[in-house]
Amino acid sequence: MKTVDTVLNKPNNGLKLSTWSNNQNQVWKGSLDCVAFEQKEIKNKLLSLDKPCHIIRISGQIGVTNDGYLAPADNSTTELLITAPPVHLQQLGDTNFLTTYGVKYAYMTGAMAGAIASEEMVIALGKEKILSSFGAGGLTPERLEIAINRIQQALPQGPYAFNLIHSPNDLAIERRAVDLYLKYEVKAVEASAFLDLTPNIVYYRVAGLSLNSANQIEIKNKVIAKISRREVATKFLQPAPARILQELLQQGLITELQANLASQVPMADDITVEADSGGHTDNRPLVCLLPSIITLRDEIQTQYNYQTPIRIGVAGGIATPESALASFMMGAAYIMTGSINQSCVESGACEHTKKLLAQAEMADMIMAPAADMFEMGVKLQVLKRGTMFPMRAQKLYELYRTYDSIESIPLAEREKLEKQVFRKTIAEVWEGTAAYLSQKNPEKLGKAVNNPKLKMALIFRWYLGLSSRWSTSGEKGREVDYQIWCGPAMGSFNDWVRGSYLAEPNNRHVVDVANQIMQGTAYLYRIQSLKIQGLQMANVYSQYQPIRCN
């Protein structure tokens, strides 16, 4: 049994007070056997988040316990310094996010196109009541329909979401996705890459509006809009434009009632503020962008007085408990992870890609031309370590900017393209491109025949488009051409898990990663709370490394 004498002989455990924090009105009562004075034991007490945490001082030695009880002050030799309440993971973020989507955490995983955010990922997370968005971008309607059926069969009560990606060069792709989501009653979409509202996203939103028996507006179709610019956020924070509503009315797609209800609700239930992320990104710093969008939300909420204020979440750079805690402390209603899930077992990426991602460091990312908005000069963030894609893609864009047609490119440059990049003749690439367009977009093919500049862009986009598919399919011999969408969060995650079981890609499961980040966030919240109250702590207490649960 521990006594005061044994406590006096304890070595320095890295705990001391920087201010007088003694609670003059209460003392701690309990057995000394449940008080930890050694660093390892103290860490375990701090990690017991479902229990209160009492910091006490006995004979000059500071200890930590989860047990005992508090009593009115008396002549006890035990000083109560600080008491921290239990920390429940459900307290992090906005509890309305939890009730709206039927989830246990204010945490979700974002869509990664081409089914990198796969059915397996969505189902695994959904079964644990964690929201995940399926990566529908770039998929055919037939492939998307298969995914909808599979996910709905596995998660008949949810939670799940599907991506609706803006396709400025082919709005018919958007429309086909919306038609499928309405047909199968998909209750939530993650709208991404939108520069402006289109009739398609408005149609999805408004088609789900109705009045319940209490004459209250019901929003059946939830929209989680991912944005990185104030002007785009404004469009989703406001009601649907009257111009688009009138257009949908004339087409018979929505009713008069729905059009009227649409003027009373915002276009989105949730806004995900996307900072420096993988894929399409403006590389914005989160600490600047999030407060700006929260302020914008508050201004628009004052103007429209929505019954349920729009929640503001964050994405881009969320990879560790530290980044998650910073987001919640800045007012984020929820956090969204992206790049880090691509290295997980359930990801649609191939094994080679997952290994490259698991080796990535924060500086191993670079911006490269995007396939879907190539002619506009839009770039996306990709992994540069272990692949030559960024350099080759940039070369293609420079050629596009410099020359007016494939034929005007110097012969030596064309031969390099054929041997090093395409590994086919330019004629063969165009033949394959034309065959594809004849089935998918014959109008664009017709324009390209009479527009040499457009024809050149389509030839270059052949490589840009296939390179991302090679990364998911694991195309042998094309490893150096893999286009791997990735943000610096990947490197941050790898730094965090180094030395733990999650350092090995085969051990990375999306549910486990979510649990570890949320558990670590709650732990660090407790540590910061104790520090704010005056407890100085050794660095060993301020670190949370993933702990494998058996």
In a domain, 384, yes or no: yes
Place of tokens 């079964």: 127
Last residue of a domain, one of 341, 365, 389: 341
Query: Are 123 and 235 within one domain?
Result: yes
Does the pTM exceed 0.85? yes
In a domain, 510, yes or no: no
In a domain, 477, yes or no: yes
Last residue of a domain, one of 465, 483, 501: 483
Query: Are 157 and 55 within one domain?
Result: no
Measured in whole angstroms, how far is the alpha carbon of residue 206 from the centre of its chain? 26
In a domain, 261, yes or no: yes
Whole-number pLDDT of residue 98:
98
Whole-number pLDDT of residue 168:
77
Query: Are 185 and 328 within one domain?
Result: yes
Query: Are 102 and 9 within one domain?
Result: no
Whole-number pLDDT of residue 10:
56
Tens-level pLDDT at each residue, the chain (550 residues): 554 444 445 557 888 877 655 566 888 999 999 999 999 999 999 999 999 999 999 888 999 999 999 988 887 778 899 999 999 999 999 999 999 999 999 999 999 999 999 999 999 999 999 999 999 998 999 999 999 999 999 999 999 999 999 987 778 889 999 999 999 999 999 999 899 999 999 999 999 999 998 999 999 999 999 999 999 999 999 999 999 999 999 999 999 999 999 999 999 999 999 999 988 888 888 999 999 999 999 999 999 999 999 999 999 999 999 999 999 999 999 999 999 999 999 999 999 999 999 999 999 999 999 888 888 888 999 999 999 999 999 999 999 999 999 999 999 999 999 999 999 999 999 999 999 888 878 888 898 889 999 999 999 999 999 999 999 999 999 999 999 999 999 999 999 999 999 999 999 999 999 999 999 999 999 999 999 999 999 999 999 999 887 5
Query: Are 387 and 465 within one domain?
Result: yes
In a domain, 491, yes or no: no
Query: Are 111 and 53 within one domain?
Result: no
In a domain, 145, yes or no: yes
Query: Are 299 and 201 within one domain?
Result: yes
In a domain, 188, yes or no: yes
Q: What is the CATH number of the domain that holds 122?
A: 3.20.20.70
Query: Are 95 and 156 within one domain?
Result: yes
Last residue of a domain, one of 306, 341, 376: 341
How many domains is the chain partitioned into structurally? 3
Q: What is the largest CA-CA distance in the chain?
A: 95
Q: Which range of residues forms the domain containing residue 369?
A: 355-483
Whole-number pLDDT of residue 5:
47
Q: Quick one: 499 exposed, middle or buried, by C-beta within 10 A (0-12, 13-18, 19+)?
A: exposed
Query: Are 274 and 397 within one domain?
Result: no
Whole-number pLDDT of residue 433:
92
In a domain, 211, yes or no: yes
Query: Are 32 and 104 within one domain?
Result: no
User: Taking Cα atoms as reference points, which of 346, 294, 381, 274 lies closest to residue 130?
Assistant: 346
Whole-number pLDDT of residue 4:
45
Query: Are 219 and 80 within one domain?
Result: no
- DSSP codes joined into one string, 307-363: SSPPEEEEESS--SHHHHHHHHHTT-S-EEE-GGGGGSTTSSS-HHHHHHHHH--TT
Query: Are 171 and 224 within one domain?
Result: yes
Q: Would you give the DSSP letter of residue 90?
A: G
- DSSP codes joined into one string, 72-88: E--S-SEEEEEEE----
